[in-house]
Chain A
């Protein structure tokens, strides 16, 4: 665990040195505010929380997360770098977690940049700050689980373009799952629909997003992050031997 900060720092420096990071963070925060304001009359209506903005996040992450995930392993996609890493005294676990945490922190930065909305909400009326906090946390957890998936996809493909497209594809499928479930509602047996609903991060997200901050939904995201990071570690270890 001693080497985790080293990997974390290196990955953060890498993100800071890549223009793509700034661009995608800027697009994410501008779009989340602009679209939210465009789609509803937020200041007049329920300005006590920020649901109008946060409900768009699963879609806007389509722009941010694949960019971050594609850069996650770009050091190692270089010729010789991955081979070199294998000879160094570092466990795969430290290596994966360090990188993931750095990407997650960058995602948090993107979220924090929408902070002026909280100030506006507080200024305009009585804001329910606990709901807002739960919205921030749920959005961050969602970003984390998407990143963990992107991290895992790297172990399957090495090309950056393929990595990018697969991550986008996965997120699209996940985001569209709830719509698919609506369509299936009368055709498929209820238990199948119910079990699929419980798997969809989208429905979990909207549950927390509404302010229902339950342990169950939190654990869903955390376990998803842990599961995919563990899968990444196992696959990488398997490949090394």
Chain B
């Protein structure tokens, strides 16, 4: 469990974090969204204890990061945005070293290194030097390093960057399984990727925390919430779509003729109506999809907006 009270951080005489307060429990996955990556990284740095806050308190399972820095650090796993690299150390040596610093010894250490390497599919490259790895693999090593000691709080900074799409999928299920026994905070600019993963979203605008809401609520704020996208070869009868009950508007895709997105009014469901219309008119539809809401739009909008 983590508790942040009135946290403020100055960097080079400029306020970059002002008066953040939030708390998170076990089994929660917090998404940290915002336009400015420096603020997100600075927040994670302060939580991890690698930099000290200018004012305010951070309690991790009751340990204040200022009063008990070492105890707090033991509970945290932090995947830094910057990938780790070393000219001579191999992946195994590196993980062993970090595990030893984390206080693991003997069989426990071997088991944990093995566990982390298996989870992130690093077994084939265990003996390769860190520097020879690709960006995606380095990213995985940095994540493996963070979960070695099964921390109570896992901080991830742009974890999916540099990963291939299929790996991203596997990574998401890994984080989901990890969320079962720890608190996870993920900072990312790809909010839509994290929509299924996170239970709560924190949106940062400038130096302020403008939103701390459950993920579904944030998605509900999107004007694409409950919107339906249809694609057909022949041009569709847009008027018929527009007069359906609950339709707020229609967006035509400029680059894909024949593809339209039908927006729903807040609180209305239009998917069944569109389905009936398609069945009645016998339209030949290539694809039909219901949108969960575009998070990136909401985040973009929120982070430009004046603070709540």
Contact = CB atoms under 8 A, between A and B. Distances in A.
Contacts of A91: 70
Interface residues of B, number: 27
A87 B101 contact: no
A81 interface: yes
Nearest to A18: B88
B173 interface: no
Interface residues of A, number: 22
A20 to B, nearest CB: 12
Given A3-B103, A6-B97, A87 B76 contact: yes
Which of B50, B78, B103, B142 counts the most chain A CB atoms within 10 A? B50
Nearest to B130: A78
B76 A75 contact: no
A87 B78 CA distance: 7
Interface in A58-97: 75, 78-81, 83-84, 86-91
A6 B76 contact: no
B102 interface: yes
A240 interface: yes
Contacts of B80: 80, 83-84, 87
Given A79-B82, A87-B49, A10 B97 contact: yes
Contacts of B50: 83, 86-87, 240
A17 interface: yes
B84 A80 contact: yes
B51 A75 contact: no
A181 B100 CA distance: 49
Nearest to A79: B85
B226 interface: no
A6 B145 CA distance: 16
A6 B101 contact: yes
B213 to A, nearest CB: 29
A10 B83 CA distance: 21
Contacts of B51: 86, 240-241
Contacts of B48: 87
A78 B87 CA distance: 8
A2 interface: yes
Given A87-B48, A88-B73, A89-B102, A81 B97 contact: no
B171 to A, nearest CB: 20
Interface string B257-287: 0000000000000000000000000000000
Nearest to A5: B100
User: Which 3 pairs across A and B sit closest by C-beta, in order of nearness?
Assistant: A86-B50, A89-B73, A80-B82
Given A80-B84, A241-B52, 19 more contacts: A2-B103, A3-B103, A7-B101, A14-B88, A75-B86, A78-B85, A78-B87, A80-B82, A83-B50, A84-B98, A84-B145, A87-B76, A87-B78, A89-B101, A89-B102, A89-B103, A240-B50, A240-B51, A240-B52
